[in-house]
Every structure is written in structure tokens, then in C-alpha cells.
Homo-oligomer: A and B are copies of this chain.
């Protein structure tokens, strides 16, 4: 199979459409902010039919969380270093780097926007959280299987993720490596 044939396969076309739609969403969030664009505008910018977006994602809320989840999974994947302390330190450092970078509060902005967007918004927010919690839980389960004593996923969110997000949100100083490692050590 040559490159041309590969590009014509349905999977190839579907992946391209997905990438174009994701790119259009990212641009519209950056230009206008959440809540200030429609599925029609995403479709027009991506060069696809509205119906393609509704068929694949169901609606704007699901599309927004799919874009956010793709970004999270790419930029803050759950590590597998062989020890819980190593995994949590690596993960916390990734999150710290991500949320102090350009548009680091993207996930907070999305959660705020979805929270005030009716039942579909709340469902999309819950689905996003459930998927990331599932990944985090896998990391903790691996530690337990190795015989390590692991906190639950809520503990990680409460005492590692939450302080970092709130500090960035409120502009409470930089997230130094010492501070981030300290959150992990304190929890463990």
C-alpha cells in the first residue's frame, strides 16, 4: 500500500477530518473564548458539514471535551516509571509545566464554561473527569500491584492537582520543583 492509498482509506480521511475539526476548535477558543462560537462556525472553519460534527461528536460540549482530553493525553500523559513516587513526581511536574505555560488554565476555563451550560455541559465535564480519573487510577493500581501503599485518586486530585491549579489561578507564585515534589512527598 503506498502513501496515496493510505490517505484514501476511510481511517485516514476520518483522522484528517478529526485533526481539522480539533484545529478549528483550538483556534476559535483562542480567538473568542468558550461559549462564543457554534458547531456551524467550527464546521465552516474546518471545511466540513455541520452534520459530520453532530454525527461524530453529538454536539459542541462533547467536541470541546474531546479536544481538551486529546491535549491532556498528549501533553500530560500518565507516566509509568516503575515506582509510585516516580510516577507522581513526573506527573505533577508535567502538570505544573503545562498549567504555567501559555493558556495553562485551558482546562479550568473549559470546566467553568461547561459548568454553566446545562445538563449536556455537566455531562461532558463529568465524562472528561471520569476519563482522566480512570487513567490516574490505573497508575495507582499498578503501584498497589507492586505492593506499594497508594493513596486513592481523590487524594491525588485534592492534595497534588488542586493546590497547583488554585495557585496558578490565583497567581500565588511560581510552582517550583521543590514545591511540586513537596506536594507529592506530603501525600505519600
Contacts and interface: CB of A to CB of B under 8 A. Distances in A.
A7 to B, nearest CB: 39
Given A158-B162, A158-B163, A159-B159, 18 more contacts: A108-B108, A108-B169, A109-B112, A111-B169, A112-B112, A112-B169, A122-B171, A125-B170, A126-B171, A129-B170, A129-B171, A154-B172, A158-B159, A158-B167, A159-B163, A161-B166, A162-B163, A162-B165
A166 to B, nearest CB: 4
A35 B113 CA distance: 14
Contacts of A122: 171
- A109, A126, A162: residue with the most chain B Cβ atoms closer than 10 Å: A162
A105 interface: yes
A120 interface: no
Given A105-B112, A112-B105, A166-B166, A172 B159 contact: no
Contacts of A154: 172
B109 A105 contact: no
Of the listed residues A154, A161, A163, A167, the one surrounded by the most CB atoms of chain B closer than 10 A to its CB is A163
Interface string A32-75: 01010000000000000000000000000000000000000000
Contacts of A170: 111, 125, 129, 157
A115 interface: yes
Interface in A91-122: 105, 108-109, 111-112, 115, 122
A56 to B, nearest CB: 25
A29 to B, nearest CB: 12
The winner among A126, A129, A158, A159 for most chain B CB atoms within 10 A is A158
Kindly list the 8 A-B residue pairs having the minimum CB-CB distance in the complex, ordered from nearest: A158-B163, A162-B166, A162-B162, A162-B163, A129-B170, A111-B169, A126-B171, A125-B171
